[in-house]
Amino acid sequence: MDGVEVVGRGVSVRGARGPVCEGVDVEVPAGGLLAAHGAAGSGRTSLLLALAGRMRLSGGAVRVGGYVLPAEGRRVRRVVAVARAAPAVALEGRLRVREVMAERCLTSPGVSERRIREAFERVEIAPREADLVEELGAVEGVLLAVALALAERPGALVVDDVDDGLPPEVQGRVWQALDRVRDEGPTVLAGCLRPPPSGSGVITLLLPQRSRDRLPAGSAVGREDAGI
């Protein structure tokens, strides 16, 4: 599937303790790459899940391709794949690489082992299938999650914590991989602590810190909403 445009106007998500993100405007062209950056508590995970149709909006509206949230949430969830947005969406570290590959083939229509291997090539990883997910290095771990989501051939792909645990000297490899992903495929919506290196052609969005929570207490993210 080709990349889709993602536009949000006044996007707000509210939890039991108040607003997590509020009044956010964002516009990402089809095939674009967004880097929503901010410290823990800035609401970036909630924003990304809201744009993906997996967290209820408390205000504002989102359009993903030709579909509008919140009215067409089910259709948006078919278009957007979430690679990683912990704790709602994360790979099980105690599984082996071959097991998460097999699981994705069983749970995501159209995904095959061939598609997953093609996605590995796109992001330039070659994980050993006998290794546990938790044994992978930080770069390979995030790119494994991206590749599994890419194999679903979505119109947009969400990945949070792009730079979490990564020393500055290797962060460029992840951003380069995401740039390749969106260059010939889906729009990429990424979350990170710090903005990517300058000159990378990424649309950046700084989110101010609002709360201590990564996700709002009592949030509506469940198995159906989170796509897991």
Residue 101 CB contacts under 8 Å (≥ 6 apart), including other chains: 113, 116, 129, 148
User: How much is the pLDDT for 17?
Assistant: 77
Q: pLDDT tens digit string along 8-29? A: 999 999 977 788 899 999 999 9
**pLDDT > 70: percent of the chain:** 90
Given a contact cutoff of 8 angstroms between Cβ atoms, the answer to whether 85 and 158 are in contact is yes
Q: pLDDT tens digit string along 150-194? A: 999 999 999 999 998 899 889 999 999 999 999 988 999 999 999
> How far, in Å, CA of 201 to CA of 51, rounded?
21
pLDDT higher than 70, residue 220: no
Band of residue 201 on the pLDDT scale cut at 50, 70, 90: confident
> How far, in Å, CA of 199 to CA of 140, rounded?
24
Instruction: Return the ∠ at Cα 72 (arms to 67 and 73), rounded to 5°.
Output: 110
Predicted TM-score (pTM) of this structure: 0.90
Dihedral (C-alpha) 211, 214, 219, 223: value to the nearest 10 degrees? Answer: 170
Q: pLDDT tens digit string along 79-115? A: 999 999 998 899 999 999 999 999 999 999 999 999 9
Instruction: Return the ∠ at Cα 45 (arms to 44 and 50), rounded to 5°.
Output: 95
Band of residue 228 on the pLDDT scale cut at 50, 70, 90: very low
